[in-house]
Amino acid sequence: MVARLSRRSALGPSEREALLALPYQMANLDRDDFIAREGDEMTHCCLLLSGYAYAYKLAGNGARQILSFHIRGDLLGLHGGAAEPNSCNLQPLASVKALLVPHKPLLDIAAQYPEIGRALWAEASVSNALLGEWLLNVGQRDARGRICHLLCELARRQAEAGICSGPDFEWPMTQEQLGDATGLTSVHVNRVVQRLRAEGWVRTTGRRVLICDWHRLSEAGDCAPGLLQAA
Amino acid sequence: MVARLSRRSALGPSEREALLALPYQMANLDRDDFIAREGDEMTHCCLLLSGYAYAYKLAGNGARQILSFHIRGDLLGLHGGAAEPNSCNLQPLASVKALLVPHKPLLDIAAQYPEIGRALWAEASVSNALLGEWLLNVGQRDARGRICHLLCELARRQAEAGICSGPDFEWPMTQEQLGDATGLTSVHVNRVVQRLRAEGWVRTTGRRVLICDWHRLSEAGDCAPGLLQAA
DNA sequence: CGTATTGTTGAGCGTAGTCAAAGTTAGTGG
DNA sequence: CCACTAACTTTGACTACGCTCAACAATACG
């Protein structure tokens, strides 16, 4: 299970064994539990087993900026290991099952098995790159572009993680959360999503979304076509 | 010199020695040279000896989002080590002196000396946290807030790095660059900066800025007072 | 079945964008 | 040292995208 981290690097059997021998703790968390708080010293990192989570920061005026959404299989709170206090809040979108792994033994085996260290480093790099992508999204695209881009990113990541296999997938965040992720108001998010529906780009049902027009969506969202066409 | 990385972690003499024994290469780079390009596989990371640099990404429509500014002493391109291709472009603001250090030996001694690994990890965490701070800035603050925040951040970092020691410091970026960093137009940046001057919050002379009113500036920029009052 | 959360509408406003031109500064070479 | 050029800053008029506020509808949930 923990071994799905192997995506980032070729791990041999001894490395898998070391990972599986790590101490851990299972946790069931609810929507208003915190996985981590800003300013905490993090002692654990967290592997999402089921459900969704998101990281956010608060501004002085109460505004909230969501920094990332996390799906099943993501490894959260990696950046905590270095005694720096944590820089953002981490909460589940809804109920979540998670594996808490203390940092110290993880760092120990990372030092012992360079491939594991490399995989963790790559994991951190990817999440850093994603953050840069979001900054580009919020800073330089208009409302429609931001939402299309976010949709494409979620589709791509869910497909890569093998969670979905088609043009429809879970889209469990509220429009207010989408707004806080894209730097828009929930009202404006609503209007944009409505237009996407009206123009036949997507169809939404409850907490899922069905992409009807990949081409336009990825063009408006300024995404490399990549895996998406598959559908 | 390389040992100023020791800021992040307590390094013993043998660790210092290992760092100083690293192979490196000196480089003088101009404004339109690239330190790194998006999509490259990075083989080196880069320690800035003098001058300023910035990282940015381009959107499909040609818009540019600046992800970070870097000052003397910063370590750039750390995230490259993991075979992932680089996710952003890295250029000097003006002429720059830099030390290029190949990743492989750096990773080797990081594996050998856990304290060095920890320091590098911390360095990466801090730059990641800064990126999150920027996303919050661009996503949730108005134009004045964004610029004040950026000023405060630059002041704080230059002070921490011991580069400036007072209320005035270098501010070498053009208004267009400030715009691309804050998600605003250069025209609008210009108007905001003019108001800051008119209201007596700052004074600018050439490529420097003098902060006249820390209190208002950090309040508008939503910054923890922290080191700033010193002036 | 009632309550809280989320989604949807409309009208009016304001911040920031656009375009285009003129004014300044800095850098370069004669 | 001056002339010339390119880069950067400043200005004004006009536009528009997205925000605000407020009320109502539709879900989800206990």
Nearest to A125 by CA among A162, A187, A78: A78
Which of residues B183 and B160 earns the better pLDDT score?
A: B183
Report the range of poorest mean pLDDT among A141-150, B15-24, B129-138, B203-212. Answer: B15-24
- pLDDT score for B2: 67
Cα–Cα distances (Å) from B80 to A6, B21, B41, B46, B127, in that order, read 19, 21, 7, 11, 14
Helix (H, G, I), strand (E, B) or coil at B127: helix
Chain A positions in Cβ-Cβ contact with residue B182 (cut-off 8 Å): 139
pLDDT in tens, B40-52: 888 899 999 999 9
The pLDDT of residue B132 is 97
pLDDT of B74 reads 92
Percent of chain B scoring above 70 in pLDDT = 92
Distance CA B170, CA B150 (A): 13
> Is B181 exposed, middle or buried (CB count within 10 Å of its CB: 0-12, 13-18, 19+)?
buried
Region B121-150 average pLDDT: 96
* Angle at CA of residue B93, ends B88 and B95, nearest 5°: 120
The two three-digit tokens of residue A4, written as one number: 């799905």
Indicate the pLDDT class of residue B231, thresholds 50, 70 and 90. very low
Contacts of B164 (CB under 8 A, 6+ apart): B155, B158, B170
**Among A87, A136, A160, A186, which would you mutate to test the B interface (most chain B Cβ atoms within 10 Å of its Cβ)?**
A136
Nucleotide nearest A182 (Cα, C1'): D18
| Rounded average pLDDT over A90-116 | 91
**Do the chains contact at A140 and B64, CB–CB below 8 Å?**
yes
Q: Is A82 close to B128, i.e. CB distance below 8 A?
A: no
Specify the pLDDT at position A144: 98
Residue B135 to residue A138, Cβ atoms within 8 A: yes
Kindly state the DSSP code that residue B30 receives in the 8-state scheme.
-
- Please give the mean pLDDT across all residues of chain A: 90
Contact B86/B77 with Cβ under 8 angstroms? yes
Q: Is B132 on the interface with A (CB under 8 A)?
A: yes
Confidence grade of residue A34 (pLDDT, cut at 50, 70, 90) = very high
The pLDDT score that the predictor gives to residue A3 is 64
What mean pLDDT value characterizes chain B?
Answer: 90
Query: What pLDDT is attached to residue B172?
Result: 95
Our measurement of CA A133 to C1' C4, in angstroms, reads 35
Distance CA A225, CA A216 (A): 11
Q: Quick one: which H or E segment has residue B29?
A: strand B25-29
Strands B64-70 and B202-205: unpaired
For strand D, list residues 176-205 of chain B whose Cβ lies within 7 Å of it.
Answer: 176, 186-187, 190-191, 193-194
pLDDT value at B205 more than 60 = yes
Residue type, A73: G
- A138 residue type, one letter: V
Cβ within 8 Å of residue A20, ≥6 positions away: A2, A3
- Which of the four pLDDT bands, split at 50, 70 and 90, describes residue A224? confident
Q: Give the model confidence (pLDDT) of A42-96 as tens digits.
A: 889 999 999 999 999 999 999 999 999 999 999 999 987 776 789 999 999 999 9
Mean pLDDT of B199-221: 94
B58 burial level (CB within 10 Å; 0-12, 13-18, 19+): middle
- pTM here is 0.94
The tens digit of pLDDT for each residue in A194-223 reads: 999 999 999 999 899 999 999 999 999 999
